[in-house]
Structure 1
Amino acid sequence: MKNNFLLTFTFLISSFSLFAQTYITNVTVVDVEKQKLVSNQTIEITNNLISNIRKSNKIKLPKNATIIDGTGKYIAPGLVDAHIHFFQNGGLYTRPDAIDLRKYVSYTEEIALAKSDMENKLKRYLKNGITTLIDVGATYNFLEQRNTFTDKDFAPEIFITGPLLTTYESEVYKNLKHDEPFTLTESIEDGINGVKDQLKYKPDFIKIWYIAGRDGLSIEESARKNLPIVKAVIDEAHKNDLKVAVHATQEITAKLAVENGADFLVHSVKDKILSKDFIQLLKKNKTILSPTLQVSGGYGKTFGQRLQFSNDELLTADPYQLGSLLDLKHLSDTLLVNNYKTRLNKPNRIANLKKADSICSVNLKTLSDAGVLIATGTDAGNIGTLHVSSYIKELELMQKSGMSNWQILEASTINGAKIFDKENEFGSVTIGKKANLILLNKNPIKDIKNLTDIHTVINKGVVFNPNDLLKDTPRDLAQRQLNAYNLRNIEAFLEPYADDVEVYTFPNTLNYKGKENMRKRYAKMFENVTNLHCELTERIVKGNVVIDKEVVQFNDITKEAIAIYRIENNKIKKVYFVRE
């Protein structure tokens, strides 16, 4: 039977070669399974599959083929983010249970934005080489919306669950019907019915939010009290051939979940260094773990107003969600804002966060070295953990824990496929697997940041220039420079501007010309002004012109201002400041 299969597959591959659409020539293959670089290869893609890989001098190119020159480049599997949430946008207003700002932005508006923006999120992910997404806690509406993108070339492959089954639910999420991200399960019957209710929406798996201690009991007492419900959910899911992911951040909840059949732990254990027995349990059960190292810090740094972003994050993030994180500087409820800032900046709070981060880091290194399967996940969508841009930060934190670049790449590709036993379908550059690939300009093994230097993305066999997937609008450019201004990041601030930018006092008095002159003026201001913040109060966009009405804080001065940006060739070419 096995030989017949191989003969059939060989025949199919030979047949495919007659109709091959795309060849990537003279490229170095990043082999994440064997952890080696294989140079001077040509990849043949037929329809949506990798149909051949051979030495470049051993393969003949058809005259009518699409050919991509991979000389000096590296071909790697598309990346997997094994932990995201579509129902959360990543900005300041996305979790009213964490900070209630519904008087500024209603949660109804936030939900509507999450649904309407899903296509842009998907394009942003693909633009940055992420070809597979695992949503580990969604809503019934997103389960249905997922189906809209199944056959879209620009959409990464989506694995998704429905509402999180939990014994604790915040009041702000109740009674939202199909927009409710949680299902309260207070009994074994509730847990079983919670699984059954999701089946008609065809989820890819089931997720449990194993929250212990909210009922007034100790962590262990609470965990054991709720264990029968957790076990009932796992058993019912497995009965229906669905794997189960579990949110468990204490060793006791994680241990009990794995002992009772959990397939996927979606966070690190952060309360203690893991015992040898628990590590062996994970290996024995082949449980996969996603560390999500940055998400707690995202909340703390946002509420404590200690945010910093790299140039890459400022360039790749949704600029409006990133910008919203800075709104705490100007919201009118100063008592609420200052209480959060004071609490999150207390020395003991920062020390506790650092301790938890250190425990997570040590545990990750130990687990990885022990051979436990690690899958890269960001928990994107939470406040301060932005979709797409948080991915490279997660990789850097994994690297900081001591994981090698090969281990990180394995966690970010083939291990993500293993969560759903799909390693024979995608996750490596292998004949017969899906052509979900990224062509890199630089070697990612030499520097993990080279994963951001993408020449070409191939998704479902379709070739994309990343810059064509999601183009900057004039509004985007204006917002990006505003974000960088408020973060005092001179390089990111200058990025949206043309090299020969002209800055005027309205209507036509030229103040100066050129990006370098702008650099001198703004770098000095960013360095010397003690209280610098710009609040956008109104924005008008007309074609390639953006008009911003602002309230600007400058040392002890607050004043209104109007800035007019004229965009040419996708850069801000002219700026007009309207003076009083």
Structure 2
Amino acid sequence: MTIKFSLLVTIFLSTVSVVAQTYITNVTILDVKKQKLIKNQTIEITGDLISNIKKANRIKIPETATVIDGTAKYIIPGLVDSHIHFFQNGGLYTRPDAIDLQKYWSYDQEIALAKSDMETTLKRYLQNGITTLIDVGATYNFLEQRNTFKDKTYAPEILMTGPLLTTYEPEVYSNLGKDEPFILTQTIEDGINGVKAQLPYKPDFIKIWYIAGRDGLSIEESARKNLPIVKAIIDEAHKNNLKVAVHAVQQITAKLAVEHGADFLVHSVKDEVITPEFINLLKTHNTVLSPTLQVHGAYRKTFGQRLEPSDYELRTSDPHQLGTLLDLKHLSDSALVKTYKTHSNTPKSISSLKKADSISMVNLKILADAGILIATGTDAGNIGTLHASSYLAELKKMHESGMSNWQILQASTLNGAKIFDKEMEFGSVTIGKKANLLLLDANPIDSIENITKINLILNKGVVFNPAELLQDSPADLAQRQLNAYNFRNIEAFLEPYAEDVEVYTFPNTLKYKGKATMREIYGKLFKNVPNLHCELESRIIKGNVVIDKERVQFGNTIKEAIAIYHIENNKIKKVYFVK
């Protein structure tokens, strides 16, 4: 017995000794719990856990360890996006119930693309510093696909529900089998069975789409009519040790959901300023709320053709999904496009959006100051709210609401962990927690935009250089410059090009060379030419060469064009225009 025990101890110690160790030295830690900076710290990481934190001069570093110099840098926990949808891509064709464009791109094609792109989407999230994702409405297929990424070091942790349980289902989503994102629950029995049907797929929680008013009743009458079903779902989920997230955008639906056990509200209340009674209700039930401030406006701005993506979004988003958001400028169904554009740009529609945004932001400030747990979430995947790159816009709107940068950082890290009682596992830079960390070149407390100035990412203890995690393909580079062209953004347009780019008239007549000349030419074009728009008609990709057939509008003039892009060292080095 003694010999066996000694042998086991020897094996254990030898195993521990070969576990890789990483040290981040002389770094400033942002303590999101106590909201303070801790300077001159060295963090020891063993395997995928933070194993020690001490003053820089009080820790001995083994010669075999990997050492990262954190001097003049800042370390924060990996970010959490508490509200995304993998079954939606963020582009124009992802919600046929909102705008049906299936004659151009079918929903079968769209959902197939979402599934095939999941790995790239996960890498894009990690590249943007997001190490935990909460999918608050998926499908059985995505629940199964989630499992394939569990042990991938490039993949954030994924917490996912299955199809949304709802008393209202858009017809376009029915009869899709394991790709169906909804379970229609019209009775208490339907609600209970809807929970039971998900259990074999091992969801992390259950989600209710609490839609009121679609049955012709008033919001409150409809909410109370469907309350027994909502309550039955919550009770059945809790009986199976699953928390419940609820989509509720009116104060009455949110109030009823929380009174009957909802753990997580996944949107702001936007119909009225919340009451003290509602705040106390959230406190009593320890309910978490994710405000999702940008998603509603992104729909309206896309349909109204008023979308203005930031330089950051143009540079870091999925360029092909971003590109689709401008397709309304050239789709052949001009009557449908005109209807959507006109409706979205009426004074009533714009006023309604401003009112809802204002109420949401006022409510967020009230809740944050009252100590309610706020968790940052984007609702990424919806039209105009792109995966990963939309995170910064959400943080900026939270700041605009009046939240401090400390409050925002806490909402984006520790509070996301608290949704599912995982605050002892991740969410702060603490000994024993997961080594999901961001090393930043600037302090996000000085400016929340500094959260994007990522030097290195640690996910599951593995170190990643964000520039190498996910590189643009030749087609991506061609699409990025096209997007920026259409949005008249000169800096984002120039970014994919090499400094010494050469522009030719095909086959070999040099027109000009260098970004400086390109800046002058296209800067004037963007500034002075009305109705500037380039429609991509077709694209051929051959190795590092991309050939685009384009239909370009300059004012009232339309020209057909062919552009040939040669990529070298991840930049567009040469461009040939065929007359």
| TM-score bracket for the superposition, by shorter chain length | over 0.9
**2:9 match:** none
Contact 1:488 1:526 in 2 (8 A): yes
**2:229 match:** 229
Distance 1:311 1:19 in 2: 41
**1:524 match:** 524
Distance 2:88 2:569 in 1: 33
**1:490 match:** 490
SS at the partner of 1:200? helix
**1:345 match:** 345
**1:7 match:** none
Residue identity in the other structure for 1:463: V
Distance 2:362 2:68 in 1: 42
Q: CA shift at 1:543, angstroms?
A: 1.0
1:258-337 correspondence runs (5 A):
258-337=258-337
Tell me whether 1:445 sits opposite 2:414 in the alignment: no
Q: CA shift at 1:569, angstroms?
A: 1.0
Tell me whether 1:89 sits opposite 2:112 in the alignment: no
SS at the partner of 2:261? coil
Q: TM-score, normalised by structure 1?
A: 0.97
Contact 1:168 1:214 in 2 (8 A): yes
SS at the partner of 2:374? coil
**1:37 match:** 37
**1:461 match:** 461
Distance 2:574 2:220 in 1: 62
Distance 2:367 2:239 in 1: 29
Distance 1:543 1:15 in 2: 45
SS at the partner of 1:463? strand
Compared CA separation, residues 411 and 14, structure 1 to 2 (3 A): farther
Q: CA shift at 1:16, angstroms?
A: 5.6
Distance 1:33 1:546 in 2: 49
**2:175 match:** 175
Provide Cα deviations, 1:184-232, integer angstroms capped at 9, x if missing partner.
Answer: 0000000000000000000000000000000000000000000000000
Distance 2:373 2:137 in 1: 21
**2:558 match:** 558
Distance 2:246 2:179 in 1: 21
Identity of aligned residues (%): 76
**2:424 match:** 424
**2:369 match:** 369
SS at the partner of 2:488? coil
SS at the partner of 2:373? coil
Distance 2:15 2:332 in 1: 67
**2:200 match:** 200
SS at the partner of 2:201? coil
Report how many residues are paired: 568
**Cα RMSD, aligned residues only:** 1.2
Provide Cα deviations, 1:247-295, integer angstroms capped at 9, x if missing partner.
Answer: 0000000000000000000000000000000000001100000000000
1:134-213 correspondence runs (5 A):
134-213=134-213
SS at the partner of 2:27? strand
**1:112 match:** 112
Residue identity in the other structure for 2:160: I
Distance 2:109 2:309 in 1: 26
SS at the partner of 2:196? helix
Distance 2:509 2:208 in 1: 62
* Segment of structure 1 superposing worse, 160-169 or 537-546: 537-546
SS at the partner of 1:424? coil
Distance 1:21 1:546 in 2: 43
Distance 1:484 1:305 in 2: 15
Q: Which blocks of at least 5 consecutive residues in structure 1 are unaligned?
A: 1-11
Distance 2:136 2:37 in 1: 33
Distance 1:15 1:220 in 2: 61
Residue identity in the other structure for 1:29: I
Q: CA shift at 1:367, angstroms?
A: 0.1
**1:69 match:** 69
**1:384 match:** 384
Tell me whether 1:577 sits opposite 2:562 in the alignment: no
Residue identity in the other structure for 1:200: P
Compared CA separation, residues 14 and 50, structure 1 to 2 (3 A): farther
Contact 1:279 1:367 in 2 (8 A): yes
Provide Cα deviations, 1:404-451, integer angstroms capped at 9, x if missing partner.
Answer: 000000000000000000000000000000000010011111011011
SS at the partner of 1:221? helix
Q: CA shift at 1:236, angstroms?
A: 0.1
**1:6 match:** none
Contact 1:13 1:52 in 2 (8 A): no
Q: CA shift at 1:19, angstroms?
A: 4.4
Compared CA separation, residues 54 and 194, structure 1 to 2 (3 A): same
**1:216 match:** 216
Moved segments of 4+, more than 6 Å: 12-15
Contact 1:249 1:267 in 2 (8 A): yes
Q: CA shift at 1:557, angstroms?
A: 0.6
Distance 2:99 2:471 in 1: 32
Distance 2:214 2:183 in 1: 16
Compared CA separation, residues 297 and 14, structure 1 to 2 (3 A): farther
Distance 1:307 1:252 in 2: 32
Contact 1:22 1:44 in 2 (8 A): yes
Provide Cα deviations, 1:445-472, integer angstroms capped at 9, x if missing partner.
Answer: 1011011010100000011111111111
Distance 2:439 2:577 in 1: 42
Contact 1:136 1:207 in 2 (8 A): yes
Distance 1:236 1:569 in 2: 55
**1:132 match:** 132
Distance 1:302 1:531 in 2: 17
